[in-house]
A and B are shown apart, each in its own frame.
Chain A
Amino acid sequence: MDFKKVQDLIKYFESSKLTTMAIEDGTFKIALSKLKETANSEPKSLVVNDPKILPPNVNVKAQNTVANKPTEDILLKDVTSPLVGTYYAASSPTSEPFVKIGQRVNKGQTVCIVEAMKIMNEIASPFSGVVEKINCKNGDVVGFNQVVISLRPQE
């Protein structure tokens, strides 16, 4: 794919009603996402993953990513903690963890525990998908809105 085609792709995407689009073609990958700007954030930009097709004077690093996320991650959905506490991957020290990487999770399913004041709060995933990243380990401090698990969404 040449750069002109990438530009056309971007124009098409911008004018379309799509909010996210990802294309893989051999070693070439592109992910585009229209995300809302929030008060303290950098404006979101798109990322092109193959430096060979960019014009030489364009610095790939400078065109950097949505909140420092690599390409594929723009499409991931984060499960965040609604409270402050300590992360536990399982319901007890001897139990199996609630989820593993690669596991499919349904909307409403418990993915982890955040303990606050000795009360074990089960955190349910608001989306369905496949677990791609587990961002905390047992005993980690978890803040409000902190990402605990990232899922690749799937209906």
Chain B
Amino acid sequence: MSDIFAKQKPKLRTFLKVAGKPIPKNQIDIPDGLFIECEQCHSAIYQKALVENLSVCPHCQFHFRLNAGDRIQLILDENSFSENNANLKSKNPLSMPEYDQKLAISKKSTGHSEAFISGRGSIQGFPIAIGVLDSFFMMGSMGSVVGEKITRLIEFASQEHLPLIIFSASGGARMQEGILSLMQMVKTSAALKKFDQIGGLFISVLTHPTTGGVAASYASLGDIIVAEHGALIGFAGARVIKQTIQQDLPEGFQTAAFQLKHGQVDLVVERKQLKQTLIHLLRFHGQKGEPSRE
């Protein structure tokens, strides 16, 4: 039966000289950034919908990286954040080529002077010392300034008797500062030891990706280690490990779920649950904040 529709148009023009009008072929140009591509499932996400969903893909739950400002806004009470040590700036102690340029580029694009933002704030009334590694600043790599800011934050938390929460996302130690970067691993770990001795609470939140010298130092020393859903957490890169041991790696290697199964993290949470989870943990550990809203 379907052919009758196809036959109709030419049939109508049997005695007519006029052919049909051509169908326009327009090119609609949409603004850039209106849709964001999910890194994992490649689907198109409406930019506003992505923001509303806390930068998590609504289809596959892939957690996009958050910059320090967005992370602070997500977790802390409005207007409760006050920054410490914002004036610390990196130099180029080993005179590494292009390091100064890379620093300048990162400063310009992120608006921060370094990869670590620290200070104090409150979550639902619970006062805390907070630090966030911004993976958009030189891959969140830890150099002297980052290490120093972390250490000062730990000491600040000690002095003020505040619980400490640090959000990490990093490629590891900053290569351009060589041994000085590696030294930060020791420095931050030592500061945490002292903090621990006075009974301080340190919650380490691992976000995608947390690797290298950061994973191998302070980030893994939390009293409680919380990982975001889907985060890549490990020390060396998977490819390097595979080449070295000449073996296939297990399914899900270095994902948050894998690390949970193998006892490397205590909790894996979806970003939308993160704030509530931190509030629970703070309340459970005897901190005083606003009364429960449940």
Binding site for B on A (CB under 8 A): 116-119, 121
- Shortest distance between the CB of A140 and any CB in chain B (Å): 11
Residues of A within 8 A of B44 (CB): 116-117, 119
Whether a CB of chain A sits under 8 angstroms from the CB of B37 is yes
Q: How far is the CA of A129 from the CA of B267 in the complex (A)?
A: 46
- Judge whether A119 and B42 touch: CB under 8 Å: yes
Query: Which 3 residue pairs spanning A and B have beta carbons closest together?
Result: A117-B35, A119-B37, A117-B44
Nearest CB of chain A from residue B85's CB, rounded to whole Å: 40
- Chain B 26-48 against A: per-residue CB contact (8 Å), 1 yes, 0 no? 00001010110100001010000
Could you tell me which residues of chain B, from 1 to 48, have a CB within 8 Å of some CB in chain A?
Answer: 30, 32, 34-35, 37, 42, 44
Q: Other than A117-B30, A118-B30, A121-B42, give 11 A-B pairs with Cβ distance below 8 A.
A: A116-B44, A117-B34, A117-B35, A117-B44, A118-B32, A118-B34, A118-B35, A119-B35, A119-B37, A119-B42, A119-B44
A116 to B34, CA, bound (A): 12
- For B32, the chain A residues whose CB sits under 8 A away are 118
A115 to B181, CA, bound (A): 43
Q: Report Cα–Cα, A119/B35, bound state, in Å.
A: 8
Q: What are the residues of chain B within 8 A of A118 when measuring CB–CB?
A: 30, 32, 34-35
Chain A: interface secondary structure?
A: strand
Query: How far apart sit A116 and B35, CA to CA, in the bound complex (Å)?
Result: 10
Bound: A119/B37 CA distance, A: 6
14 CB-based A-B contacts, threshold 8 Å: A116-B44, A117-B30, A117-B34, A117-B35, A117-B44, A118-B30, A118-B32, A118-B34, A118-B35, A119-B35, A119-B37, A119-B42, A119-B44, A121-B42
- Complex Cα gap A119–B32 (Å): 10
Q: Which residue of A lies closest to B37 (CB)?
A: A119
Report the minimal beta-carbon distance from B32 to chain A, rounded to whole angstroms. Answer: 7
A119 CA to B30 CA in the complex, in Å? 11
Instruction: Give min CB distance, A109 to chain B, whole Å.
Output: 16
- CB-defined contacts of A117 to chain B, threshold 8 Å: 30, 34-35, 44
Smallest Cβ distance from A101 to chain B, in angstroms?
Answer: 26
* Whole-angstrom CA separation of A117 from B32 in the bound complex: 9
Closest to A86 in B: B27
Q: Report the Cα distance A33→B35, complex, angstroms.
A: 44
CB neighbours (8 Å) of B34 from chain A are 117-118
Measured CB to CB, the nearest residue on chain A to B44 is A117
Q: Which residue of A lies closest to B33 (CB)?
A: A118
Question: What chain A residues lie within 8 Å of B37 (beta carbons)?
Answer: 119
- Give bound CA distance, A119 to B41, whole Å: 12
Which chain A residues border B35 with CB–CB below 8 Å? 117-119
Give the CA-CA distance A121 to B35 in the complex, in Å: 13
Closest residue of chain B to A121 (Cβ to Cβ) is B42
Name A120's closest neighbour in chain B (CB-CB).
B37
Q: How far is the CB of A71 from chain B (nearest CB, A)?
A: 23
Whole-angstrom distance between the alpha carbons of A121 and B34 in the complex?
16
Contacts of B30 in A (CB 8 A): 117-118
- B44 to chain A minimum Cβ distance, whole angstroms, is 4
Tell me the smallest distance from the CB of B208 to a CB of chain A, in Å. 21
Inter-chain CA distance A119–B43, complex, in Å, is: 8
Report the bound CA distance from A5 to B35 in whole Å: 61
Residue of A nearest to B46 (CB): A117
